[in-house]
Amino acid sequence: MPTPFAAEMLDYTKQADDLPDPTAVLNSLDEITWSHAHIHVLGGALLPLKFGTTEALCIGKTAFLHKSVPKGWWEDRLELSKQSPAPGDIAARLAMAPFTFSDLMKSLEPIGIDRWAMELNLKYGIRDSLGCPIGGRWIFAYWSPKLMSLQSSDKSLLYMGAAFATKRLQQLAPPCIERLGKGAYLTPRELAVLRALSLGRRVAEIGKDLALGEETVRSHIKKAQAKLGVQTPIHAVALAVRLQLIP
């Protein structure tokens, strides 16, 4: 028989895709984690395309915070991260499994300016957090006013909840040109057509190269433009290059 924590988390994974908005996604998960593990949901964020940048992080678009997060913490964090990347952000890009902030600090032993993340969290009463990297594109986190001491089974349940919450946030998030999000995925054919355009190939030549009709090529171009939010093929190619979608 599953534990009550496991049973409620399994129920959450089944209903997550039906939750109407990001607030419901985070609140529903927080009710479970706080009740069974005394851990709050912090939220989820789409990792910026370029490491070390914070400009693309926008609440309600690429970042979603739970109401339990202390007021002022997010704004201070964005400002301080401009002078030095947060250790958690670095770990989120490199880790394949969830990690606690306290364990990360022990392994890094930060000094000087690199201690800002620890001092910031303590200032706002965030004693520890659990970061869950999701698919190399998102980081979802929980926070606690106390040091976390989690059994592997509980950590697995928290990671499962994070994965399903992130999946729903991805579905609900508006299109993000800076980092491909909902509705902005380019298909292999669309990328191939843009790549050919970048090499100066004409529509007819692209059609022959890819064994496609000219109208199909034009359709791929128009779809790529729409997904990237641009009006011309030239702009689509330029943006695809800037976003490193094509070489």
Give the span between the Cα atoms of 92 and 133, in whole angstroms: 5
Q: Which one, of 12, 3, 8, lies nearest residue 168 by Cα?
A: 12
**pLDDT given at position 183:** 40
The residue written with tokens 């895709």 in the block is: 17
**pLDDT given at position 181:** 40
Residues of the chain with CATH 1.10.10.10: 188-242
The residue written with tokens 């690199």 in the block is: 114
Give the span between the Cα atoms of 79 and 75, in whole angstroms: 6
Residue 105's SS3 state is helix
Expressed in percent and rounded to 5, the helix, strand and coil fractions of the chain are: 55, 10, 35
Give the span between the Cα atoms of 237 and 230, in whole angstroms: 10
Give the span between the Cα atoms of 216 and 231, in whole angstroms: 18
**pLDDT given at position 185:** 65
Architecture of domain 188-242: Orthogonal Bundle (1.10)
* CATH number for the segment(s) 4-172: 3.30.450.80
Kindly give the confidence (pLDDT) of every residue in the chain, 247 residues in length, as a single tens digit, with 9 standing for 90 and above: 789 999 999 999 999 999 999 999 999 999 999 999 999 999 999 887 665 567 678 899 889 999 999 999 999 999 998 877 788 887 877 777 899 999 988 888 877 767 899 999 999 999 999 999 987 789 999 999 999 999 999 999 999 999 999 999 988 987 654 444 434 567 788 888 998 999 899 999 999 888 899 999 999 999 998 888 788 999 889 888 877 677 6
Residues of the chain with CATH 3.30.450.80: 4-172
Predicted TM-score of the model (pTM): 0.71
**pLDDT given at position 191:** 85
**pLDDT given at position 175:** 63
